[in-house]
Structure 1
């Protein structure tokens, strides 16, 4: 029996457990660094499969590593399980219908991501047992991908130093290899402190922190003309200092995401943003406190692993879809805007977009392309990719055109086609790992490619050494040792 068939059977044998587990995490919908129940059920699933689990690693209360095997090669599977705020939505609803107004929801499919990677890790373990092979598989439970950067903390603290290759995936609307060029990012918060006063009777005694925030934002906005085209800067005012207009605001806060294609570029932009904050504090005679919340690098691709991963995905193929699945996917496609449909068409071409509009579940695998497409977003998988050869696939968990971080993603998160696409990702990663375990030349070639792409650059975390992951309240008493 070949690898593809054997791995497929191993995962299908336990598929109901994986579907139930992903649905359970969908229900929890826990946001960054608060994924206590989600992490706990994933840890329990690994322990039941014979993995040795280390919980609460490097100060990440909802981070963990599950390990099985001995010796090398060492393969890492990356799992995420954080949700997003404000995206509560009923499963299977064809219209916007929040369960809890402003509640959380899995608007990026990480409930599927974490379990798909777990399915791969377990299948690799089963294969190693069955064939009595040497090697180690490690499942990295990675919290807070959505602006928390759990993997960046892990990479900074050296957790990937002994790994030979890393594999991951992401829910998507097509079946393909992850070929996006992503930005490096620094997330920073700026807290201004001034002096309150009666805005009518004694405004001259006040020093407005809110004025400082506004002046800083104006200064940063003027920067936009004078930075590279691919850079991105976005902000949110997180504290306006109160709601009384007749009181000079003594404190105010703004948080920024600063993005650029290379780490040195994002560091340079960050320093300029800090200068804007300093200037605003001088103009308003306030004080400013600057804190980096997190960061990640740009993603380093690895074609050596990607080509093997793509071949396995092609051999596996997408599961057969039903009439009911297609009808629901059509409803999801019809719910997105004309502009969103146009954007989806640009990503695949007019002919394929027409085909997918009629049958919005992509039941085919796109051809492999060596070309990367620039996307302005970021991922902390990038920090892993600077340290170890890394490859990712994407599978069609959602209807064609579905935008990330929307209620439509949440509504589709428990659909049967989402489950099947999750399992396809797990099978693809497991097959890729087994191919590498049985042919160490693949690993050596992948490492050589990574070295060549870095071209002498070395990984230096953008997160300060003294920065610790946030400690969140844990009402469930879970995860900690």
Structure 2
């Protein structure tokens, strides 16, 4: 009954959800500045009968939409932030950037809308069957480089939630069963003395030299950290564009990752020592500003199994000839390395197999079998911090051509295609069916909670973001 009900509801409502996705897509906004997208979603939540709390966790663009009462409390996590530098005209097979050059290169227009659709379908099922339970749709801003959910967890926004569900667009259909890398993001600012670089260079103290020396030191450090660790940096202030001036101010932003928060912290302290050394060598002053952080993701295997069953129930529709032709053209824009790595992308999202089912195809038409793994995704997500305080599961559904890497113009251009919207509603259906099962089957809910409670006994949560740190815009 539930399968048919949810499927019919989403089919009847698909045009409305596609319009929401299209609105968010056409109003791309970067982290913690998603004013149009958040307000639009809030209005849609209220229109659908949810009661909305704005400014959740003291974040302007965060909100919680609630329907119902009592337990269980089912949460759906929605994102809607975009990426700078990834503006792209939709449904094109060549790179055509937009004037603003901000775009949904990670598909968060789909992610947020799909999670909202799942919340609406679950709400409708509870209404029609007069069932107790609470549905919460969490509007989560700033995932891209901002760790919005980590700030929300720190402020208690997810307290009282029994189960959390979310998804992510990708080229495949699978349960996202991998853990993820914890991270710290930190600014290192150097202050020196300006001077004429030819006439009196001895009077200057170069902050840019300090940044460069720090980067050299960290690059030597790479050999002496665990292989799974990652250290990335961007020089965000070079001190100006005049080579005849000794640069008095310079800044570098570091993103440090590792499988565990403790490992990140250890590497971070070593990076700080290198920065201090660079300041000593250049006789400049160093200021360190902690920007954000997130933990490693904790999969809940009991919930993942149920989500897999729901994904299979949702099924995959065969793509149309036009969708296949579009995907083939996009495949031709990928580099040889990207084509050869298409299976690695799928495996990062939980795919299990050898890829034989994709031979001669450009779009995924199958669902990966579910196999729990101890592997770690070489990426990070703020969903991780939610998973430390609420039993959480994630899935991915195919919204793009095989081989499409995230954070590329190819990902952006497919963001409102018919194929992407089919994948979005497939994810919504799988999440809604899992939520309904949490409401209607107490044994399933108890097994999920028992697994989580056993983990929690041995692993108390500590938010990796210090209390004094606030969310930052780009």
Q: TM-score range by the shorter chain?
A: over 0.9
> For the residues of structure 1 that align with 2:44 and 2:318, how far apart are their CA atoms?
28
User: How many Å apart are 1:9 and its aligned residue?
Assistant: 1.1
> For the residues of structure 2 that align with 1:72 and 1:428, how far apart are their CA atoms?
21
Is 1:446 matched with 2:448? yes
2:361 to 359, 362, 368: 359
User: How many Å apart are 1:457 and its aligned residue?
Assistant: 1.7
Distance 1:427 1:350, change over 3 A: closer
Equivalent position of 2:155 in the other structure:
157
Give aligned pairs, total. 470
Is 1:35 matched with 2:37? no
User: How many Å apart are 1:350 and its aligned residue?
Assistant: 12
TM value normalised by structure 2: 0.96
SS at match of 1:107: coil
Equivalent position of 1:475 in the other structure:
none
Is 1:301 matched with 2:299? yes
Distance 1:390 1:351, change over 3 A: closer
> For the residues of structure 2 that align with 1:195 and 1:111, how far apart are their CA atoms?
46
Write out per-residue CA displacement over residues 326-365 of structure 1, whole angstroms, 9 at most, x where no aligned residue: 1111111121111111111455699964653522121211
Q: Which runs of 5+ in 1 are unaligned?
A: 473-481
Question: What pairs up with 1:206-217 in 2 under 5 angstroms?
Answer: 206-217=204-215
SS at match of 1:394: strand
Tell me which moved more, 129-138 or 451-460. Answer: 451-460
Do the aligned residues in 1 keep the contact of 2:352 with 2:369 (CA within 8 Å)? no
Root mean square deviation, CA, Å: 1.7
Equivalent position of 1:59 in the other structure:
58
SS at match of 1:445: helix
> For the residues of structure 1 that align with 2:340 and 2:314, how far apart are their CA atoms?
30
Equivalent position of 2:429 in the other structure:
427
SS at match of 2:341: helix
> For the residues of structure 2 that align with 1:399 and 1:117, how far apart are their CA atoms?
22
> For the residues of structure 1 that align with 2:97 and 2:472, how far apart are their CA atoms?
28
Equivalent position of 1:381 in the other structure:
383
SS at match of 1:460: coil
Equivalent position of 1:88 in the other structure:
87
> For the residues of structure 2 that align with 1:352 and 1:409, how far apart are their CA atoms?
24
Equivalent position of 1:278 in the other structure:
276
Q: Which runs of 4 or more aligned residues in structure 1 lie more than 4 Å from their structure 2 counterparts after TM superposition?
A: 346-355
Is 1:467 matched with 2:465? no
Is 1:8 matched with 2:7? yes
Equivalent position of 1:410 in the other structure:
412
Equivalent position of 2:177 in the other structure:
179
User: How many Å apart are 1:319 and its aligned residue?
Assistant: 2.1
User: How many Å apart are 1:451 and its aligned residue?
Assistant: 3.3
Do the aligned residues in 2 keep the contact of 1:59 with 1:468 (CA within 8 Å)? no
Q: Which runs of 5+ in 2 are unaligned?
A: none
SS at match of 2:42: helix
Equivalent position of 2:97 in the other structure:
98
Write out per-residue CA displacement over residues 104-133 of structure 1, whole angstroms, 9 at most, x where no aligned residue: 111010000000000000111111111111
> For the residues of structure 2 that align with 1:270 and 1:454, how far apart are their CA atoms?
26
Do the aligned residues in 2 keep the contact of 1:210 with 1:252 (CA within 8 Å)? yes
Question: What pairs up with 1:163-242 in 2 under 5 angstroms?
Answer: 163-242=161-240
Do the aligned residues in 1 keep the contact of 2:107 with 2:169 (CA within 8 Å)? yes
Is 1:312 matched with 2:310? yes
Write out per-residue CA displacement over residues 438-472 of structure 1, whole angstroms, 9 at most, x where no aligned residue: 12332222122123345612111111101122368
User: How many Å apart are 1:3 and its aligned residue?
Assistant: 1.3
> For the residues of structure 1 that align with 2:373 and 2:411, how far apart are their CA atoms?
27
Equivalent position of 2:336 in the other structure:
338
> For the residues of structure 1 that align with 2:473 and 2:67, how far apart are their CA atoms?
28
Equivalent position of 1:265 in the other structure:
263
> For the residues of structure 2 that align with 1:225 and 1:470, how far apart are their CA atoms?
32
> For the residues of structure 1 that align with 2:453 and 2:195, how far apart are their CA atoms?
59
> For the residues of structure 1 that align with 2:359 and 2:271, how far apart are their CA atoms?
43
Tell me which moved more, 16-25 or 462-471. Answer: 462-471
Do the aligned residues in 1 keep the contact of 2:192 with 2:207 (CA within 8 Å)? yes
> For the residues of structure 1 that align with 2:139 and 2:192, how far apart are their CA atoms?
42
> For the residues of structure 2 that align with 1:376 and 1:3, how far apart are their CA atoms?
36
> For the residues of structure 1 that align with 2:30 and 2:352, how far apart are their CA atoms?
37
> For the residues of structure 2 that align with 1:429 and 1:22, how far apart are their CA atoms?
17
Distance 1:70 1:454, change over 3 A: closer
Write out per-residue CA displacement over residues 346-395 of structure 1, whole angstroms, 9 at most, x where no aligned residue: 55699964653522121211111112443211000000000010001100
Distance 1:471 1:365, change over 3 A: closer
